[in-house]
Structure 1
Amino acid sequence: MSSPVFIGSRIYRGSVYGPRHPLSIQRVPAVTDLARTLGWLPQVRYRTSPRAKPVALTGFHSRAYVEALKTAEAAQEVNEEVRVRHGLGTLSNPVFPEMYRRPATAVGGGLLAAELVRDGGIVHNPGGGQHHGLPDAAAGFCFLNEPVLTMRRLLDMGLQRVAYVDIDAHHCDGVELAFDGSERVRMISVHEARRWPFTGALEDRAGGASFNLPVARGFNDTEFDFVLRDMILPAVETFRPDAIFLQCGADALAEDPLARLGLSNRSHVAAVRALRPLAPRMIVSGGGGYNPWTVARCWTAVWGEIAGEEAPDRLPPEAESVLRALVWHRKGQPEEALFTTLLDTPRVGAISGDLRADVSRLQDRLKQVV
């Protein structure tokens, strides 16, 4: 089994969707720099992400859409027909200088991750996780659907079953669409109820492939531990997957501006730790996350768990400097702990009766499909 690998790229450094877009922040570069200053990312564990070729992208996306995306990047504009058909040039999915190369690099990282875990192992691809991308259109800041293309590569390599676990605050509608009715991919999504894209209801089954758990605002670490133990882990373990793909979106953290959940980054670390023994292969991607400090700390903590490193109680000065150098177009500064520590204080609380009831319903469903 290979040692853990971190996949990154220079293309993320300085690349933003626009000055006031939620993805105006630096995410992968901050994680890379923070991990390096902690001594957790020696060159032997780092791989540069290739850019996926257009033909690889058509494993899920239409040729017309891939060509439209490439053309839009080259021209730095789109016409109304392309905007309406392909969702390009919108407020969510704007025209920007790397609008094709950046997502194609994220997909390339996912495809490389699949190759790296062929014989076993674990890989972190923080630039991946774009779970809203549709076959013929961009959606929800996602120009290409990296998780779908990565999991299809795993299946094409001969793996029989892949478990997809998504703890992003937003439902993974593009992934669910791609594997509707599949007996080879089991999808488990925990996401905020009544949050865009307004899919992923508890009753949604997607042909039996999906287990959706919409959770209420304020969803806390105690509730996450309960869901992890009583729903996520049994759903994965009974599937006996050859590989696990964990979409580790950081927008479920309490400080994120685009959701209203209340997790600490300890829940993300706990998910990696609990899932890792359940399959010989694991890929951990990024995803949502729109507060620069919480994203950088979360995905670095996740990498630390993957790499077998122990988080310090207080960050060394070099690591603290990485966090203090981050900028955000929103006013105000974060609390001091977001500069000086890596792991959040646990955010514990009561487990709601509604959550217990919903998990019980999913447990009943799981018994029917095992």
Structure 2
Amino acid sequence: MTADPAPKLIGSEIYRGSSYGAWHPLAIPRVSTVMDLTRALGWVPPGSYIPSPRAKPAALHAWHDPAYVAALQKAEADGEVDEETRRRHDIGTVSNPIFPEIYRRPATAAGGSLLAGELLATGGVIHNPAGGTHHGMPDRAGGFCYLNDPVLGILSLQRNGARRVVYVDIDAHHPDGVAFGFRGEPDVLMISVHEEKRWPFTGALEEREGGSAVNLPVPAGLNDTEFSLIAGELILPLVERFAPDAIVLQCGADAVQEDPLSRLALSNNAHFGMVAALRPLSPRYLVLGGGGYNPWTVGRLWSGVWGTLQGAEMPDRVPAEAEKVLRALSWSRKGRGGPTEALMTTIRDAPREGPIGERVRADVGFLRRREGLA
């Protein structure tokens, strides 16, 4: 059995119309936009799209507490939780509300990452934009994440022959759930670049998560030039040295300038460059979604990730059908960047280059010395 070299895109119709509630940051369409936009761009050739299965409870029990999985199922069936369940599992809260698909939706995202681990047994490339829910804990939700599909995906990869796994996370928020899941595990290297002084307030520069992680908290305003330094001087050398059997990239879209839940200033070129640079460093490559709370930026970014994996040429202006998808989006929340003309007619942002701050340079240097790269 040989690997299918063509990248695969995992999606599901469950994300179309499913929402955490009109007031929640995840009221916006995300995965459905990627599905529609990539098709409108002609980037989904026959055989490349895979409908995501819904993970069964037994599969989730590989990491999640059975009582917690049962609580999510009951919350979906009842449409509510009691106070004890709310306190114990952190569901039915402002961040992690009860909504009609509170079990089925995250179980579908988890099912996609579990399936990816199986499909990548002999190598290949898979994009699961619904994945990247990196805050979920074994027995409780956190940060809009009810289940932790990155952890489940890594475990699935390991069950299917990928002993050594690198997990790279470029979401604006630190992946506390993944750090907890693989703390001290020598065969999983976690590298996280995240905004400092932002929830969940973990992932300090000195924190090694039991020796199995490299954390780089970055200041507000991080630009493309600074990210390029981080990628070239820190992330890529660490990955190359680890020589992984698989790479999992959590490609959260909330680090771009227009996102309302961070204060970073990247363009989506930083993400596309990271996606491309990691691809040749391992025979198995799983690219997940993650954060992202501006409907235009997140849809364009994850679509561009898929285009990058496909080797597609990004047009200066999207064709009419793709523009129609972008113009159909709406957003009631006031954020740092509304529907500008560029957000509705392009995939690739204009570069957001700038000076390299002394703090970024110094912290990269500190980690290079600590990790034996310098």
- How far 1:327 moved relative to its partner? 1.4
Paired position in structure 1 for 2:205: 202
**Residue 42 (structure 1) shift:** 2.4
Cα distance, 1:96 vs structure 2: 0.2
Are residue 54 (structure 1) and residue 57 (structure 2) matched?
A: yes
Distance 2:295 2:262 in 1: 15
| Residue 115 (structure 1) aligned with residue 131 (structure 2) | no
User: Who is 2:369 aligned against?
Assistant: 364
Q: Any idea what SS the aligned residue of 1:238 has?
A: helix
The 1-side partners of 2:129 and 2:159 are apart by 23
Q: CA deviation at 1:256?
A: 0.2
CA distance in 2, matches of 1:57, 1:254: 35
| Match of residue 236, structure 1, among 230, 236, 239 | 239
Number of residue pairs the alignment of both structures matches: 369
- Contact preservation (8 Å) 2:120, 2:157: no
**1:267 matches 2:270:** yes
Alpha-carbon displacement from aligned partner over 1:219-248 (angstroms, at most 9, x marks no partner): 000000000000000111110000000000
What is the aligned counterpart of 2:307 among 293, 304, 307?
304
Partners of 1:212 and 1:257 lie apart in 2 by 23
Unaligned runs of at least 5 residues, structure 1: none
Instruction: Find out whether 1:350 has 2:359 as its counterpart.
Output: no
Q: Check if 1:148 corresponds to 2:151.
A: yes
- Structure 1 residue 169: deviation in Å? 0.2
The aligned residue for residue 105 of structure 2 is 102
- On the 8 A contact 2:76/2:100 being kept in 1, the answer is yes
The correspondence for 2:193, drawn from 177, 187, 190, is: 190
Shift of 1:160: 1.6
After TM superposition, where is structure 1 displaced by more than 4 Å over at least 4 residues in a row?
none
Question: In structure 1, what is the Cα distance between the partners aligned to 2:334 and 2:57?
Answer: 40
CA distance in 2, matches of 1:111, 1:160: 16
CA distance in 2, matches of 1:82, 1:329: 31
Secondary structure (helix, strand or coil) at the match of 2:25 reads coil
Any idea what the Cα deviations from partners look like across 1:284-327, whole Å, max 9, x if unmatched?
00000000000000001110000110100101111001001011
- Residue from 337, 340, 344 that aligns with 2:345: 340
Query: Which residue pairs with 1:169 in the alignment?
Result: 172
CA distance, structure 2, for counterparts of residue 23 and residue 43 of structure 1: 30
Residue-by-residue CA offset, 1:174-202 (whole Å, 9 max, x unaligned): 00000000011000000000000000000
Tell me which amino acid in the other structure corresponds to 2:351.
Answer: P
> Could you tell me which of 203, 213, 222 is aligned with 1:219?
222
- Choose which of 87, 90, 93 in structure 2 pairs with 1:87: 90
Q: 1:181 aligns with which of 184, 188, 196?
A: 184
Is it true that 1:7 corresponds to 2:10 in the alignment? yes
State the alpha-carbon separation in 2 of the partners of residues 160 and 45 from structure 1. 26
Amino acid at match of 1:55: A
Contact 2:121/2:161, CA 8 A, preserved across alignment: no
Helix, strand or coil at the partner of 2:191: strand
* SS of equivalent to 2:122: coil
Cα deviations by residue, 1:122-175 (Å, 9 ceiling, x for unpaired): 000000000000011000000000000000111122322000000000000000
RMSD: 1.1
Partner Cα separation in structure 2 for residue 352 and residue 262 of structure 1 = 13
Deviation at 1:331, TM superposition (A): 4.7
Q: Which residue of 1 aligns with 2:284?
A: 281
Query: What is the aligned partner in structure 2 of residue 31 from structure 1?
Result: 34
**Residues in 2 aligned to 1:266 and 1:70: alpha-carbon distance in whole angstroms:** 39
| Letter of the 1:365 counterpart | R
The residue matched to 2:136 in structure 1 has which SS? coil
In 1, Cα distance between the equivalents of 2:207 and 2:297? 31
1:20 and 2:23 equivalent? yes
**1:322-362 deviation per Cα after TM superposition (whole angstroms, max 9, x unaligned):** 00101112258421100011100000001111111111111
Structure 2: gaps of 5 or more residues: none
TM-score between the two structures when normalised by the length of structure 1: 0.98
